Structure 1
Amino acid sequence: MGLKFLHTSDLQIGMTRGFLGADAQPRFEAARIEAIARLGRAAADNGCAFIVMAGDVFEHNSLAPRTIGRAVEALKALPVPVFLLSGNHDPLTADSYFYQVSEIAGVTVFYDSEPIEFTAPGGEVVELVGAPLRSRHTSEDLVAQAIAGLEPTSRIRIAVGHGQVFSRGDEDAPNLIDLPLVERKLAEGAIDYLAMGDTHSAQPIGSSGRVWYSGAPEATDFRELATGGGENNSGKALVVEVTKPGVEQAEVSVEEVEVGQWTFEAPVVEVNSRAEAEEFISFLDAYPHKERTVIKYALVGTVDIATKRYLESALAEREEVFAVLYERERLMDLHLEPSEDDLAELAQGGFVGRALEELIAQAGAESEGFDAAAAIEAEAAGGGGADPDRGTVARDAINLLFRLSKES
């Protein structure tokens, strides 16, 4: 049997999200600290000798005293030792919390890239090599600097880094991690696994199977149900097992384990009838832990006024139950097309009826040819899109017209 350890990152204790509000935000913040205990249980349950947190343990270096105090208590209670790396959110500056938490028994901070020796419960000596960030932005490949001079060894050696491997733009950045160098060092036995942080979805990098992003142990952003994109694999930690019989390449297996409690999802749903509207509401009702579920939804299609009012009423009821349930205005494309009954109720042929028809045409005028996937991609890229204000105003006017007509 080989050595096991737990790989995690991007806990970002103290994170705030503006859309959560006064009710959900404190629970969201508490869950990030409680995740430390869940990580400890996952490590103990899977026979891990230690935990590695690969950067962004804290959201920033100016947290409320209560937040850092509770985090310290959670770290003290961990059942196995933990190794902490600074990231771009919590760099090793003079005000870093790592100096405070390093005083806790069982907590080791990577202050530099000198190998740290750790003796596992079975007596095996393991080396850990970190690449800590000392500022929010770096112009160097810190992982390359940490591992370039390492020679092959018969010991298990774990490297720990934080950053990106691939450029998100058209040009390579000098701080991108040199994956070919990493894989050469893996092949020659100088390192056996690179534990990465920064990307919030758990995933392997490269072809070796020994370079992984652990993803965030609690969700931080939305999973796009329509495209499978976004933060699509967070809420995990990695149980890594390393077996190394000699200087040659180690055997490594990686297993994802669930540790997260919060759900962030962004559905785009087509609704063209009362039955489909009810199906969407049933979809929302199926979420098991609504108090820690955040949904931003977009509805696409054409409905009559009665169905629209059913949706508004049903959604308003559920807004009180979910952590957050709100309309994704940029992608909303729900047309109003009155049924014969709707028109009869609104004095078809008179002034009210003519006003209704004009407003309906205005509400749908900018929505023709709507492509949900393209709109999601444009939104993710920070692009604009059709100005939603005119259609939104028209929809609000229709609802007001309907209500006033019913009252009269």
Structure 2
Amino acid sequence: MTSPNYQDAVHHVRFLHTSDLQIGKTLAYLGDDGQARFNEARLDAIEALGKVAVDQQCSFIVIAGDVFEKNRLSARVLNRAKEALNKLEIPVYLLPGNHDPLTADSIFYKTEDLEKIHVISDSQPIEISQDVELIGAPLRSIRAPHDLVNEVLEDLEPTDTIRIMAGHGPTQSFGEDSPERIDMVKVSEALDQGVIDYLALGDTHSAQPVEAKKRAWYSGAPEVTDFHNKCGGRDGGENNSGNVLVVDIYKNDATDAVVEVQEIPVGTWTFEEIDANLTTAYDVDRFLERLRSYPEKARTAIRYSLQGSLPIAEYARLHGVIEELESTFASLQVHKRYHDLRIAPSEEEISQLELGAVAQAAVKELQELADTDAAESEAARDALNLLFRLSSSSEGH
């Protein structure tokens, strides 16, 4: 990654920006087996970002907050994380975030024995080289009392050399104003004046610029941690995680810095929501084929919501295959809030059950209940499904 117009710039630096590893994060729905693989992936992400940093000839790595899920982790989780961090070949600067704030019991005090790992414990300039300095706004509590980033910026003067800042937290553009939100208007002014040249942010898990000239970025999490929300017509959640940022800064004097950012994928997990309407056997085939098509099911979590109505046979076939696939995925679960798939047995299907008059009446009652929004509707659908499967099984003997 080069900038032809700035190859002769007086000052240049290339570094890797990441955040939100949240080492030690647990997700109950993954179960013990899936959680173990998820834990391993977070450690593998450290190795992966280190490889990118070396391959891209970065001078150092900035992890902008939430390195750890919380300050109290088991010795096993912490020691394995320290081992992975200690293997990185270039210096690493860790910023305490809201998950791992620099409190009296901070987990960062247990990383002081790591040679190349530096905790940004205050807002004093850190000299990376003659050309580059790093300044951070570490969190000292789970929630910042005010805009820590701009508090630091207020005391800084423009500089002809390169100055990078690391911060953690939401910006005002991400929702309603509150005291701790980072005022990006003020940040942009500081960038224009050469007070800083790049703001490395952590907090949200999707990589994205948050400043018009793309000089301030959320790196996103290097390994996916949650779903990209699609069920129920939504579009939110994590939609660009699993990347790290390689940042180049070229500068001659205080006001002419040029920033180039490259997103590089390193994540290995997939978290996805599927929303589908099923009314025919073809629809069922398409949905099941989509599930089968995921190449790394052991590192894939799926949450699905289905709408429509199906004959009993198709409904039973659908759930039979889903049950078979559940053990191959890290997680395969229904999103109950948006799920509304109903059973619509044909007269032929009901007659083929060869039930007596009382049982047929019970089937009709179950069908009517299954087609409602009552709390018992799901149980009614399961009962119809089981009844058909048992009936089909007995016919085959």
- TM-score of the superposition, structure 2-length normalised? 0.92
| Match in the other structure for 2:116 | 106
Identify if the C-alpha distance between structure 1 residues 318 and 69 changes in structure 2 by more than 3 Å, giving closer, same or farther.
same
Q: Which residue of the other structure, out of 217, 240, 244, is the alignment partner of 1:212?
A: 217
| Match in the other structure for 1:152 | 158
- 1:147-170 alpha-carbon deviations (Å, 9 max, x no partner): 111111111100100001027665
1:376-387 alignment, distance < 5 Å? none
**Does the CA-based 8 Å contact 2:316-2:389 persist in structure 1?**
no
**Does the CA-based 8 Å contact 1:92-1:98 persist in structure 2?**
yes
The answer as to 2:57 corresponding to 1:47 is yes
- 1:254-310 alpha-carbon deviations (Å, 9 max, x no partner): 111101111111111111111111111110111111111001111111111110111
1:256-335 alignment, distance < 5 Å? 256-335=263-342
Distance 1:288 1:340 in 2: 40
| Match in the other structure for 1:75 | 85
**Cα drift, residue 344 of structure 1:** 2.0
**Does the CA-based 8 Å contact 1:167-1:173 persist in structure 2?**
no
AA paired with 2:386?
Answer: L
**Does the CA-based 8 Å contact 1:348-1:354 persist in structure 2?**
no
| Match in the other structure for 2:192 | 187
1:128-139 alignment, distance < 5 Å? 128-139=134-145
| Match in the other structure for 1:16 | 26
| Match in the other structure for 2:257 | 250
User: Secondary structure of 2:35's partner?
Assistant: helix
User: Secondary structure of 2:236's partner?
Assistant: coil
Q: Which runs of 5+ in 1 are unaligned?
A: 367-386
Distance 1:274 1:150 in 2: 66
Distance 2:309 2:89 in 1: 56
| Match in the other structure for 2:344 | 337
**Does the CA-based 8 Å contact 2:316-2:388 persist in structure 1?**
no
**Does the CA-based 8 Å contact 2:159-2:254 persist in structure 1?**
yes
User: Secondary structure of 1:68's partner?
Assistant: helix
- 1:284-341 alpha-carbon deviations (Å, 9 max, x no partner): 1111111110011111111111101111111111111111111222211111111343
**Cα drift, residue 400 of structure 1:** 3.3
AA paired with 2:102?
Answer: L
- 1:48-76 alpha-carbon deviations (Å, 9 max, x no partner): 11110000000001111011111111111
| Match in the other structure for 1:236 | 243
Distance 1:168 1:244 in 2: 30
Distance 2:234 2:211 in 1: 23
Distance 2:235 2:289 in 1: 21
Number of aligned positions between the proteins: 382
| Match in the other structure for 1:398 | 384
Distance 2:209 2:370 in 1: 45
The answer as to 2:372 corresponding to 1:362 is no
- 1:338-395 alpha-carbon deviations (Å, 9 max, x no partner): 13431221248933333222222221223xxxxxxxxxxxxxxxxxxxx6x3221211
**Does the CA-based 8 Å contact 2:199-2:217 persist in structure 1?**
yes
**Does the CA-based 8 Å contact 1:202-1:214 persist in structure 2?**
yes
**Cα drift, residue 102 of structure 1:** 3.2
Q: Which residue of the other structure, out of 86, 90, 95, is the alignment partner of 1:85?
A: 95
- 1:159-196 alpha-carbon deviations (Å, 9 max, x no partner): 100001027665x2111111111111000001000000
Give the fraction of aligned pairs with identical amino acids, expressed as a percent. 48
User: Secondary structure of 1:200's partner?
Assistant: coil
Q: Which residue of the other structure, out of 37, 46, 70, is the alignment partner of 1:36?
A: 46
**Does the CA-based 8 Å contact 1:192-1:249 persist in structure 2?**
no
AA paired with 2:377?
Answer: G
AA paired with 2:368?
Answer: A
Q: Which residue of the other structure, out of 177, 181, 200, is the alignment partner of 2:182?
A: 177
**Does the CA-based 8 Å contact 2:120-2:138 persist in structure 1?**
yes
CA RMSD of aligned residues (A): 1.7
User: Secondary structure of 1:24's partner?
Assistant: helix
**Does the CA-based 8 Å contact 2:220-2:241 persist in structure 1?**
yes
Distance 1:253 1:363 in 2: 56
Q: Which 4+ runs in 1 deviate beyond 6 A?
A: none
Q: Which runs of 5+ in 2 are unaligned?
A: 1-6
**Cα drift, residue 219 of structure 1:** 1.0
| Match in the other structure for 2:4 | none
User: Secondary structure of 2:172's partner?
Assistant: coil
AA paired with 1:197?
Answer: G
Distance 2:272 2:234 in 1: 12
User: Secondary structure of 1:310's partner?
Assistant: helix
- TM-score of the superposition, structure 1-length normalised? 0.90
